[in-house]
Amino acid sequence: MAVEIKVPSVGESITEVFIGEWYLKAGDWVDMDGNIVGLETDKATFDVPAPQAGIIKKILKEAGSTAQIGEPIALLEPGSAPAGKGKTSASPVPAAAAAAKSGSSSSEPAVMPAAARVAGQQGLDARQVPGTGPGGRILKEDVERQLQSGSNGSAGTAREKRRVPMSPMRQTIARRLVEAQQNAALLTTFNEVDMSAVKRLRAQYQDSFVARHGVKLGFMSFFVKAVVEALNVYPQVGARVDGHELIYTNYMDIGIAIGAGKGLVVPVLRNSERLSFAEIEKAISNFAQRAKENKLGLEDLEGGIFTITNGGVYGSLLSTPIVNPPQSGVLGMHGIVDRPVAVNGQVEIRPMMYLALTYDHRVVDGREAVSFLVRIKETIEDPTRLVLEV
């Protein structure tokens, strides 16, 4: 008897989800706890595992549609693994990847799920794209390369327009960005910071840090520490408006913006003021991995009094970040570039980074905002101050 795969409950306030990507199709085998489909809400994405082993009998909700909590979205026919089907791990690779790994003799090329998703969004037949992956599998990069070349895999196709529904997460991102612009008096102040001291520390202690803590010492932990120090001196930057009142906290819950592929997510480092450098780096690494695997929960994303975003990892030299409502401030980090600067009357080449602080002018005056950013600059350029708290 077929088992209904239903949309699980993902939070008290969530009543509807968006069907993101089906990892399997009707007729595919799945082991118990193998991921079947990726679902999205306005705040997070997550996978739905198979409650038991069997064959996907029917998909009831197509990708791009919506479903209510508790609504059946697929039917699973329980059974024993067919001949030739090996057991997979608790998070098995999608069917296309499994076929490629097993050396399937099918004449049809193996299309990886990410490649299929990008191709579908662009109206491209992924099967017509030359695959460069192991066993000839078609990767996301192959599809993107094909699209950049201006070819869609078939000759003579007319120009066309496509309508692709925005996912709940993308809709929420758009709505919150517009709300931030409309409901807050946003202003951005800039500065630059010499990263020489931090780079020297990382180079000197990186091996010891990794050996002891099992994680690399990155730049973000220095900036989290610097933000905590600056918030201690200028707490209004971490306050928020609630009606005709300002709310201050005695804890430093700092949001760290992470690109999750389907949209920017901002998981929160709780009580950052209590965390060591290693604890911060481990937490951020964990957030990034879980975001990649669609395993961040709503509890990871809620709250936060201030946000740090690093556009430098994507090559950004300078930008004006937008605050994450209802917060009143966001720090934008950017790329580190060797530039000539004046040092003690001499021109030297230093690794420089532009910093941007966007703040809600209703809460924070210009003097406090500029001083806050200068405080961050001072502690980054002389990181021993983070240890001595001076």
Residue range 201-214, pLDDT digits in tens? 999 999 999 999 99
Q: How many CB atoms are closer than 10 A to CB 78?
A: 15
Active site residues: 361, 365
Low-confidence ranges of the chain (pLDDT < 70): 12-13, 43, 81-109, 113, 121, 134-135, 150-158, 261-262, 390
Contact 94, 134 (CB under 8 A): no
Q: How many CB atoms are closer than 10 A to CB 43?
A: 21
User: What values do phi and psi take at 14, rounded to 5?
Assistant: -95, 120
Helix (H/G/I), strand (E/B), else coil: 240: strand
CB neighbour class for 276 (10 Å; exposed up to 12, middle 13-18, buried from 19) = exposed
Q: Provide the pLDDT for residue 85.
A: 55
Q: Provide the pLDDT for residue 150.
A: 66
Residue range 86-107, pLDDT digits in tens? 444 344 344 334 443 344 444 5
Q: What is the DSSP letter of 304?
A: -
Q: Provide the pLDDT for residue 194.
A: 98
Closest CA to 10 of 44, 49, 61, 51: 44
Helix axes 196-213, 366-381, angle to 10 degrees: 60
Residue-range domains of the chain with CATH: 3-148 (2.40.50.100), 169-388 (3.30.559.10)
Query: Does the bond joining 8 to the residue before it have cis omega, within 30 degrees of 0?
Result: no
